[in-house]
Chain A
Amino acid sequence: GAVVSQHPSWVICKSGTSVKIECRSLDFQATTMFWYRQFPKQSLMLMATSNEGSKATYEQGVEKDKFLINHASLTLSTLTVTSAHPEDSSFYICSARARAGNQPQHFGDGTRLSIL
């Protein structure tokens, strides 16, 4: 069964709305969570890496004020797309990894965001 739960799976909203996406690790403590964006027919693009209790590290070109990431607990990280516009429409996927050693990275089912 799924070890990373992502919610919601689909969002359609008006331009200017802020959208929050949740990512939960279900049976392990995720000290590190990753947020990816994926355009059709393309590979995953890392947006940011967050470690529990500290600020997220954003990849070059990703606006931190646009994509707010909170990783307040070992089982929950959230991505908020603030004042979303049509160009923010995309597929967003979270991933989580436990603390110790060379642990596997588990992925959520993704959130399809459509901004009208």
Chain B
Amino acid sequence: KNEVEQSPQNLTAQEGEFITINCSYSVGISALHWLQQHPGGGIVSLFMLSSGKKKHGRLIATINIQEKHSSLHITASHPRDSAVYICAVRSTVSWGKLQFGAGTQVVVTP
């Protein structure tokens, strides 16, 4: 069983819709990353969280340490948001290595 679970696996939205991606993990962590991978393969680190909430433009990330759960929200989605979104945690017992969720494929249609 993967220690980092993401849902949904796939998501299609119409332009302008609000999107939420969820991530649950079962290990103690020092930080959680939300990553974005475009079709070309490059990965961008969107957020690193250890508590609370962060906002950058139309993206919002929240984390609840007690519930071991994080969400990534995309407001007013746009076709350029189409990508794979990956949740990754830095556990307290893995020598600083990241453990990755399986990713959520997001497609935003015009």
Q: Which of A16-24, A61-69, A72-80, A108-116 contacts B (4 or more CB under 8 A)?
A: A108-116
A27-40 vs B, Cβ < 8 Å mask (1 yes, 0 no):
00000101000100
For A, the interface residue count at a CB cutoff of 8 angstroms equals 20
Q: Which residues of A contact B98 (CB under 8 A)?
A: 34, 46, 95, 105
Complex interface residues of chain A between 53 and 109 (CB less than 8 A to chain B): 91, 93, 95, 97, 102, 104-109
Of the candidates A32, A43, A97, A102, the one having the most CB atoms from chain B within 10 angstroms of its own CB is A43
A106 and B45 contacting across the interface, CB-CB below 8 Å: yes
Residues in A whose Cβ lies below 8 Å from that of B43: 93, 95, 107-110
Please give the distance in Å from A107's CB to the nearest CB on chain B.
Answer: 4
Q: Residue on B with the closest CB to A3?
A: B45
On chain B, the residues within 8 Å of A97 by CB distance are: 96
Bound CA–CA A49/B95 (angstroms): 10
**A102 touching B30 in the complex, CB below 8 Å, given contacts A34-B97, A46-B97:** yes
- Segment with Cβ contacts to A, from B11-19, B20-28, B67-75, B99-107: B99-107
Docked Cα-Cα span, A108 to B44, in Å, equals: 8
Chain B, interface size: which category?
20 to 34
Q: Which single residue of chain A is at the shortest CB-CB distance from B103?
A: A43
A105-B30 Cα distance, complex, nearest whole Å: 13
| A112 CB to nearest B CB, Å | 7
Which chain B residues border A102 with CB–CB below 8 Å? 30-31, 48, 50, 90
Which residues of chain A come closer than 8 Å to B30, judged between CB atoms? 102
* Residue numbers in B under 8 Å from A44 (CB-CB): 86, 100
Across the interface, which residues of B come within 8 angstroms of A91, CB to CB? 41
Inter-subunit contact B50/A43 (CB<8 Å): no
Q: Which residues of chain A are within 8 angstroms of B45 by Cβ–Cβ distance?
A: 104-107
Q: In the bound complex, do residue A109 and residue B50 qualify as a contact, i.e. CB atoms below 8 Å apart?
A: no
**Residues of chain B lying within 8 A (CB to CB) of residue A93:** 41, 43
A–B Cβ pairs within 8 angstroms, 8 of them: A43-B100, A46-B97, A95-B98, A97-B96, A102-B30, A104-B31, A104-B48, A109-B40
> Which residues of B does A touch, CB under 8 Å?
30-31, 33, 35, 40-45, 48, 50, 86, 90, 95-98, 100-103
